[in-house]
A = this chain, B = another copy of it.
């Protein structure tokens, strides 16, 4: 089968159908309607074999993750996802692989009402690039740079699970219930789209946690011209992570990576509203510290300052 037949078979009807798609897959470009009063949100993120996953990774997981990491960026802006483009490089045209990939991508796309409106398929080293567009009421998007001294700093869900699962490869713990929980957190991350939207008008700054909580919180704080004091005992660590890593769980949580939770700041007087929207969205949210005027992150445990070095994940740092 040629490129066009493969696209036709696996991708033509993938994702949700949306009324605002004037023209989808099959022409030189897609045509889309942006409603008056909305701002367009654009992001792209890629999964590269060797950098983001190992050879032999499940195609269904890759389909899910490729869309999830982009949904997470849209979530961090407080926006609604709408249209995706998919660029796939494959070493060979493997029908089974494509079917499984499409299942993972398609299920998540339907869940978030994302239409797949274009893309391309090339022979090459395995890599997956998704571009995702979203919509947000003009002027209401969440940004990284709005936190103020005195705001509380929060993170959703639990952190450190996904990255820790990678350290268990070849370890007998990887086949335990805990190991499977952690691996599922890596293979099928849950982008916090509903939470991001609910944070509009509440959060003063927001970022998605993709490179580790410490590194991403640092980015939010730098963009805001602030620092923060974090309480180590407050970090939301899952029971499986606690059991697997023990006393080092707080370091695994701070360093982490691939969490796709939201880290955000909100004025202290909104603390009750944050609690309420945690209930409303069904999404655990934990206050982990307080924003300070001085730059840098201070880690505290029982009022003692802790030392910690976490540079986060960076593809070009040696």
Contacts and interface: CB of A to CB of B under 8 A. Distances in A.
A109 interface: no
Given A28-B208, A136-B31, A315-B122, A22 B39 contact: yes
A277 interface: no
Given A51-B123, A77-B27, A77-B28, A3 B314 contact: yes
A48 B120 CA distance: 12
B143 A46 contact: no
Contacts of A19: none
Contacts of A141: 22-23, 31
B28 A39 contact: no
Interface string A19-30: 000110011111
Interface stretch (A82-90, A156-164, A180-188): A82-90
A144 B27 contact: yes
Interface string A26-65: 1111111110101111111110111110000000000000
Interface in A103-143: 117-125, 127, 129, 131, 133-134, 136, 138, 141, 143
Counting every copy of the chain, the complex holds: 2
B85 A118 contact: no
A127 to B, nearest CB: 6
Given A28-B206, A32-B42, 8 more contacts: A3-B314, A30-B41, A36-B36, A42-B85, A42-B118, A43-B85, A45-B120, A131-B131
24 contacts: A2-B314, A3-B315, A22-B141, A27-B145, A28-B76, A28-B144, A28-B206, A29-B43, A31-B77, A32-B41, A33-B39, A42-B85, A42-B117, A44-B87, A44-B131, A46-B120, A48-B124, A52-B122, A89-B127, A121-B315, A123-B316, A125-B125, A127-B127, A131-B131
